[in-house]
């Protein structure tokens, strides 16, 4: 469910001005103090979105991580829906891969409340349902763009080892970790993306989005068999997107 509300009495035309100015000035604002930028990136539009994601509880350790990743998926859905809504209103324009990265960065930072309920799957297995109620601001995407520019600048000066080793902090920030892989793919560096993703998979072997992103990098390398293996792993972990892609590839083979 998506609802949009005007903020601070600004009309839609003024909202466009706020966003455009924020994006154009993004590089220059990187060196400016945060309060100065915050004043210029005043929210023109806030989108309220409800999303839902489900996971199956297992052992205590796995359930905790699975819950965190499920909340992230709900956050990513909310950020993606907000991006589509802002684009539909012509308040923002995305390049395809840039949109994916910015949605990931926004997912980590958006304001949301989480409700959780118990249920059962079709085969009777116990499930937990995450209901996310999010407030996504237009300025979230401006700030995500600034973050992306800053990270690209830092990564351009990083040595190979530090660039390939993910910063696995105690507090998991899935969007930031995945966004780095997207930046490597966007730079047409699939080999480096795969090395980076394999490092993450070592820490989080049940994180299905890692395998989805790895499949994307393997496709750039024209390695169809390995790509299908990555998609199969993601599908096994419950990714409907990966399962659909595998079915489509199988249908093409059978034609």
Co-location of 138 and 195 in the same domain? no
C-alpha to C-alpha distance for 9 and 197, rounded to whole angstroms:
45
Number of domains in the chain: 2
| Strand, coil or helix: 156 | helix
DSSP state string for 7-32:
-TT--HHHHHHHHHHHHHTHHHHTTS
C-alpha to C-alpha distance for 81 and 108, rounded to whole angstroms:
15
Of 155, 177, 159, 178, nearest to 168 (Cα)?
A: 177
> Over the stretch 105-117, which tens digit does the pLDDT of each residue have?
999 999 899 999 9
C-alpha to C-alpha distance for 110 and 139, rounded to whole angstroms:
10
> Over the stretch 147-159, which tens digit does the pLDDT of each residue have?
999 999 888 887 6
What's the burial of 235, exposed, middle or buried (CB within 10 Å: 0-12/13-18/19+)? buried
Work out the percent of the chain whose per-residue pLDDT is above 90.
Answer: 56
Co-location of 55 and 24 in the same domain? yes
Co-location of 127 and 20 in the same domain? yes
Of 45, 116, 113, nearest to 75 (Cα)?
A: 113
Co-location of 6 and 125 in the same domain? yes
Provide the domain limits for residue 165.
158-255
42: pLDDT strictly greater than 70: no
Last residue within a domain, chosen from 152, 186, 217 = 152
- Predicted pLDDT of residue 9: 33
């Amino acid at each position: 469910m998506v609802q949009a509300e005007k903020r601070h009495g600004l009309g839609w035309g003024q909202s466009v001005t706020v966003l455009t100015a924020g994006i154009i000035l993004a590089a220059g604002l990187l060196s400016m103090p945060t309060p100065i930028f915050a004043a210029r990136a005043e929210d023109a539009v806030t989108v309220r979105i409800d999303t839902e994601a489900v996971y199956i509880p297992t052992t205590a350790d796995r359930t905790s991580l699975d819950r965190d990743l499920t909340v992230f998926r709900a956050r990513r859905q909310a950020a993606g829906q907000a991006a589509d809504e802002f684009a539909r209103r012509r308040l923002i324009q995305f390049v395809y891969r840039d949109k994916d990265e910015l949605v990931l960065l926004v997912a980590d930072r958006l304001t949301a409340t989480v409700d959780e309920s118990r249920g059962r799957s079709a085969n009777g297995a116990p499930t937990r349902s995450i209901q996310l109620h999010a407030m996504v601001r237009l300025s979230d995407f401006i700030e995500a763009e600034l973050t992306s520019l800053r990270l690209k600048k830092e990564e351009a000066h990083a040595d190979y080892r530090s660039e390939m080793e993910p910063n696995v902090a105690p507090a998991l920030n899935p969007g930031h970790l995945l966004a780095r892989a997207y930046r490597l793919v966007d730079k047409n560096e699939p080999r480096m993306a795969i090395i980076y993703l394999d490092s993450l998979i070592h820490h989080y072997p049940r994180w299905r989005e890692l395998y989805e992103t790895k499949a994307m990098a393997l496709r750039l390398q024209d390695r169809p068999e390995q790509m299908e293996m990555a998609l199969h792993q993601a599908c096994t972990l419950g990714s409907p997107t990966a399962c659909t892609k595998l079915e489509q590839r199988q249908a093409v083979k059978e034609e």
